[in-house]
Amino acid sequence: MKLQRPIGTYDITPDEAVVWSHLEERIRSMFIRYNYGEIRTPIFEYTELFQRGVGEASDIVAKEMYTFQDRGGRSLTLRPEGTAGVVRAFIENGLEKKNPGVVKLFYIAPMFRYERKQRGRFRQHVQYGCEIFGSEGPEIDIELLVMLNRFYQDLGLTELDLKINSVGCPVCRPVHRDEFVSWARPYLKDFCEDCLRRFESNPLRMFDCKVKRCQEILQHAPRLLDKLCENCRSHFDSLQEGLHHHSVSFEVDSKLVRGLDYYTRTAFEMSYAPLGSQGVLMGGGRYDGLVDYLGGAAAPGIGFGAGMERLIMILDETGRSIAPDDGVDLFAVILGDRAVRAAGDLLAQARSLGLRCDRDFTGKSMKKQFQMADKLGAKFAAVIGDNEIDKKVIVLKNLKEGHQEEIPWSEDLHELLEKINAG
């Protein structure tokens, strides 16, 4: 058997890892500016957490989880999404008592879903996202969406399509549910099997269906927006006013839902419009009933999740490179045995100053060493031979411009650092 990576997974090679690392830094920087703290939860949890936290009627639990028994006979599941584990950690670690005001948490972590292989979707994928606890007013919803809008705009994705909706609350949603069930029942024979299953367990999730025939039928369904109670209507109106105030464009989409019972009010999804359905960047919503549903003291919550792979794919397809200049700062070209140790000393000093350095370890000729430096994208080469050692100088060659000069080799390397930073 030929050894190869499992279906639905991928390798990140060094050239690609540079992009990943840079993007992760930008995501972390975004969250830190808004005073989020990073949280890291286990890759696997007890299966019951996802059955309750995601919902047994969801496609994730019904079809996509990697579930196994450990040696003690306990059912464990590889993390398929971020919210349930973060809520569990919020409760178990008493984070509401350790933070003044709202608790803002973010994560960048691998997730695992047994999905059909298709472009941009992987069975192991990385999500970045956040969960916020402690505020039920629309102001935190607004701040979250403004933050994300600015982040994607700063990446050059200016043609954004933000869709928002309200899925109501336990007061008004049952009214809509009863009306929707009565409306849908005569059409059940025309819906797909997934919709029929959802109709029995959680009818609102029928709006999640991507089957064209089902979507056409649902165009005429009663709208939850028309059944909102006074509090939910006020919350949704304030959300829209806040987004207008911050010049964030959006569209109200009455079919956008979060169908689980503990989801409340705000639901949202953001896409890069020119790519249509392939351009979805992130999605999220409020879940004011989830913390107490999972055993904690009642606390309102809101969050989102987004795929790193999808974001990188969109940036690539639209020609928006975010790869930093990762070439080597200094490459030592070694001439003679005495220069080997001297070059090691030089590079050790240079690295202590924060420079990225390298050298040949295979005994290449001077010409081949320069070729190696070019291949590594080196900015400067330091030529070191017997003559340079005796004179206590370095021949510093600017590989981008082609000129070279001798500079003193002192222990603080101040002049070398200045030359490289200027280059």
pTM for the complete prediction? 0.85
167 SS3 class: coil
pLDDT in tens, 333-349: 999 888 898 888 888 98
Spatial CA neighbour of 254 closest among 274, 272, 236, 275: 236
Q: Where are the domains of the chain?
A: 14-172+228-317, 330-422
Q: Which residues contact 296 (CB under 8 A, 6 or more apart)?
A: 87, 90, 91, 96
Residue-level pLDDT at 62 = 65
Amino acid of residue 177? R
Q: Angle at Cα 336 formed by Cα 334 and Cα 338, nearest 5°?
A: 95
Question: What is the chain's length?
Answer: 423
Q: Which regions in the chain score pLDDT beneath 50?
A: none
Chain position carrying tokens 């879903």: 113
The phi and psi torsions of 283 (rounded to 5 degrees) equal -155, 155
Residues 136/300, Cβ–Cβ less than 8 Å: yes
**CATH H-level superfamily of 330-422:** Anticodon-binding domain (3.40.50.800)
pLDDT in tens, 19-52: 899 999 999 999 999 999 999 999 999 999 988 8
335 SS3 class: coil
pLDDT in tens, 212-258: 888 888 888 888 888 899 999 999 999 999 999 999 999 999 888 76
Residue-level pLDDT at 143 = 96
The two three-digit tokens of residue 341, written as one number:
């140790």
363: left (phi over 0), alpha (psi -120 to 50) or beta: left
Residue-level pLDDT at 352 = 87
Residues 138/170, Cβ–Cβ less than 8 Å: no
Q: Which helix (H) or strand (E) holds 304?
A: strand 301-307
Q: Which helix (H) or strand (E) holds 145?
A: helix 138-154
Residue-level pLDDT at 115 = 79
Residue-level pLDDT at 261 = 63
Residue-level pLDDT at 257 = 79
Residue-level pLDDT at 93 = 94
Residue-level pLDDT at 57 = 58
Q: Distance of alpha carbon 187 from its chain centroid, rounded?
A: 39
According to CATH, what is the number of the domain 14-172+228-317?
3.30.930.10
3-state helix, strand, coil split of the chain in percent (to 5) is: 45, 20, 35
* Sign for the pseudo-dihedral over CA of 191, 192, 196, 202: negative
